[in-house]
Homo-oligomer: A and B are copies of this chain.
Amino acid sequence: MPAQASSSFSAARAPRVAIVGATGAVGEEFLRVLDQRSFPMTSLKLLASARSAGKTLSFGDQTLTVEALGEHSFDDVDLALFSAGGSISREYAPLAVKAGAVVVDNSSAFRMTDGVPLVVPEVNPQAVTEAGIGLRKELKAGIIANPNCSTIIMLLAVNPLHRFAGVERIVVSTYQAASGAGAAAMRELEQQTREALSAPGGTGTVETQDVFGMQYAFNLFSHNSPVEMGGYNQEELKMVHESHKIWNQDADQGAAVSPERIRTGITATCVRVPVMRAHAESINLTFRDECSELKASELLRAAPGVTLQDDRAANAFPTPLQASHQDDVFVGRVRRDLSQPEGRGLDLFVCGDQIRKGAALNAVQIAELLLERRGAER
């Protein structure tokens, strides 16, 4: 297919874009984000399973028809945004790269693969530009991975402080929304809650337990990902290992992300709570160098992608509902940790939209970095 292979993302025209998993919660958010940001595109192709083919979705004032994902779906695509789960990414992302596209992959399939940049644009943007376009020579190097939602949201808040004072240790506990398990989980939370409310006191028996196999309505539970040796579940390990990779991307890409090059110790406890689409995180930090509450607030107020929401008098702090459908990660409860020497420890409470900054928006921001890089090369 020489005609397709020569049509590359590095050409001067606006890219031809495909969304893989267009009918999912993240897929539909991709459409909103691309439209709202006026992402430059020559064409937009929506791909999903054969079951969803023929379905129509709105994009701005257009109506687009979903096509079935297939081997040749990427022949006329420069940029493919994947969000259809790990197995679809493992099968089709290499085909997309072979056809000449750059892939931004929202699954965990390639995140920890050597040579695949793992990028939060506010944290390690240079990893994209280093990966750039030329790296598509190798199969996997045409893929840029979007980190786990909990990792992205945590790093937006922690990175500005890490760059200032060096974070030696993070203890994080999450409060994760249904959306992280997809649209079906959101519908199940809604349906279960209706069933629970059918009895007085909201404590009725819940029959619908298809997604998690237990009651989610008015309940919470340790994250449903499999538990590995050592007792951490996969979600928790993603937060640990992805953060290390993002902060140490310099090892892969030759750019010093964290000037201190501290190996941050991280422990995470991931919990699913009955909230629809934004995650919250309680984050405890230990610093190598001094970082006062005041300095941290100043850094967070200036940080890109962050809104400081920290009104003690009004008891007004971030909530997942307020963070829903917002681009920024909201940070509050910034306070000195009483259990550590003054200046060496802080607590934070953070909320961010799981579907938006935790997935679709971050991936589109990565694509915008690719466009900038292309502009710089011309």
> A267 and B231: CB pair below 8 A?
no
Give residues of chain A (322-378) contacting chain B, Cβ–Cβ below 8 Å.
Answer: 332-340, 345, 347, 349
> B271 and A219: CB pair below 8 A?
no
Smallest CB–CB gap between A276 and chain B, Å? 5
Interface bits A222-234 vs B (CB < 8 Å: 1, else 0): 1010110011110
Partner of A332, one of B222, B339, B340, B347: B222
Check if A307 is an interface residue, CB within 8 A of chain B.
Answer: no
A224 cross-chain contacts in B, Cβ below 8 A: 315
Q: How far is the CA of A334 from the CA of B269 in the complex (A)?
A: 11
Smallest CB–CB gap between A166 and chain B, Å? 15
> B274 and A173: CB pair below 8 A?
no
Q: With A175-B175, A338-B267, A339-B266 as known contacts, state yes or no: A321 contacts B215, CB within 8 Å.
A: yes
Q: How far is the CA of A218 from the CA of B219 in the complex (A)?
A: 11
> A269 and B333: CB pair below 8 A?
yes
Smallest CB–CB gap between A216 and chain B, Å? 9
A169 cross-chain contacts in B, Cβ below 8 A: 339-340
Give residues of chain A (233-286) contacting chain B, Cβ–Cβ below 8 Å.
Answer: 233, 240, 265-267, 269, 271, 273-276, 280, 282, 284
Copies of the polypeptide in the assembly: 2
Stretch binding the partner chain, chosen from A5-13, A86-94, A121-129, A197-205: A197-205
Chain A, interface SS category:
mixed
Check if A170 is an interface residue, CB within 8 A of chain B.
Answer: yes
Check if A132 is an interface residue, CB within 8 A of chain B.
Answer: no
Q: With A197-B193, A219-B321, A338-B230 as known contacts, state yes or no: A349 contacts B280, CB within 8 Å.
A: no
Q: How far is the CA of A267 from the CA of B336 in the complex (A)?
A: 9
Q: How far is the CA of A338 from the CA of B113 in the complex (A)?
A: 22
Smallest CB-CB separation from A315: which chain B residue?
B227
Partner of A275, one of B189, B218, B232, B282: B218
Smallest CB-CB separation from A284: which chain B residue?
B171
Partner of A271, one of B226, B269, B284, B349: B349
> B227 and A312: CB pair below 8 A?
yes
Check if A28 is an interface residue, CB within 8 A of chain B.
Answer: no
Smallest CB–CB gap between A330 and chain B, Å? 12
Partner of A221, one of B230, B269, B317: B317
A189 cross-chain contacts in B, Cβ below 8 A: 202, 218
Partner of A273, one of B175, B313, B340: B175
Check if A293 is an interface residue, CB within 8 A of chain B.
Answer: yes
Q: With A218-B321, A219-B319, A320-B220 as known contacts, state yes or no: A339 contacts B267, CB within 8 Å.
A: yes
A215 cross-chain contacts in B, Cβ below 8 A: 321
Check if A190 is an interface residue, CB within 8 A of chain B.
Answer: yes
Smallest CB-CB separation from A293: which chain B residue?
B231
> A319 and B214: CB pair below 8 A?
yes
Q: How far is the CA of A190 from the CA of B196 in the complex (A)?
A: 10
Check if A137 is an interface residue, CB within 8 A of chain B.
Answer: no
A219 cross-chain contacts in B, Cβ below 8 A: 275, 319-321
A-B contact pairs, 18 of them (CB 8 A): A169-B339, A171-B284, A175-B271, A175-B273, A189-B202, A201-B276, A218-B276, A219-B319, A219-B321, A222-B332, A222-B333, A227-B313, A230-B335, A231-B335, A267-B340, A269-B333, A271-B282, A282-B282
- Closest A-B pairs by Cβ, 4 of them: A231-B335, A265-B339, A173-B282, A173-B173
